Structure 1
Amino acid sequence: MPIDRQLFYRDDLAARAFVESRSGVILHEVGHYVAANVESLIGGHLIIEHRDHANSSGAFAMNEISQARLTTSISRCAFVTAAGAVTEQHFCNYASNRRLGPDMDAYRSLPTINRYMTAAEVGARWKHDYRTLIEKIAGCIDLNFNRCLAYCVSTHFLLGDYHVIPTCRMMTPRRRGIAERIDEIVWTYPRKERIAALERYLAERQRFRPHDKNQSIYF
């Protein structure tokens, strides 16, 4: 079912409740994933906490090959970093402040960005620079949101307290070639790869410091 933008734009309370729930986490991380894949394959896992509550957590966790590919382009990194928040704004006219700190830290750490920008300045810049780009891929984001939500309901990719969804099961805004499809399946689908991705994510959460976010493979 498509996300009900009309409802969220006219009902602030409904929008806030949606964004602050696990559904909002899924939407945010799917926004990062789809934005990352506009130009070329960026694979990994969407990691979503199983419990649905106001502090649900998650991440788009790239594999190392994809991380290296993404970081060759500052402009691409900037878009991916901003995409979670701009996706929330596009669909819900609201973005979760508790979720944006690490993304803003990563954005301000980029070489071409003023590291002293305030949160309000970053948010305004993101809307100005990326709103149109998110609008162009909104259909793909919507499809992937529903796909991820279905996986979370089915528990098909549940490992412990987290759903670890391989990106080879997602739709991309650009067509994958055969070689890309095979690479992504090998990188992401085997159970051992999903377990390893979850272990890295949990270890990263334990040692995380905001100023180290630009060194992370997580959005």
Structure 2
Amino acid sequence: MSRLFVLFGTGDWAPWCDELFAELAVPGRHAAVIAAGQAENGPRVVDEYRRGAAERVARAGVPNVDVPLLNRSDADDPAATACLENAAFLYVLGGGPRGQVSALRGSRFWRHYLDTSLPYVGSSGGAMLLGARYPTSDRGHVDSGLGVFPNTVIAAHWNELDENWRRIFLDLAGDDLLVAIDVDAALVGDGSTWVVHGPGDAHVRGPDGWRRYSAGARVSLHLT
């Protein structure tokens, strides 16, 4: 099913993103927000992220609904799935991909979401989890992602990563695409055609080597 994806390297709470969120707004509909990536950091941090996300979408005139989903049990609870009703988009916040993937994979919530055409907004770990796999430590330990983009590895915060972390992502991608997104950059598209937004850049390492794209660039990447 075709859907819009908005993938941030991070920086999604900054003013430059206001227009992107305003374009996602639908009168009378809300943003369904997931903060499971922060569950490992405790309730206080989860609440901080939820408050920040609520302020973020409010600037675009979108009301916020916190999806009660921090683990797999929550993701199988009908209360979480109910938050998708009357939603304008799903907004998966940053944090470690592992907690979000373990909560969502095969869950009632995720199956229901995939049956909709709701746009997906993911920041940092919330973008990385859509790929085939992601590193879980600086020693190269690897977990599987949700595989929405089955032949792709997504690296967030690219311009902040040191050489060791960049090499880990390069090795992890192997012959697959590596899509690296800077802080304060976003890729917006339908899974095949994308546009770069923000002051940062997007970088793609494919069979022909590296390509770098700045704001306004249209990029053909068949990820889904």
TM-score, normalisation: structure 2: 0.32
Bigger share in strand: 2
Select the structure that is richer in helix: 1
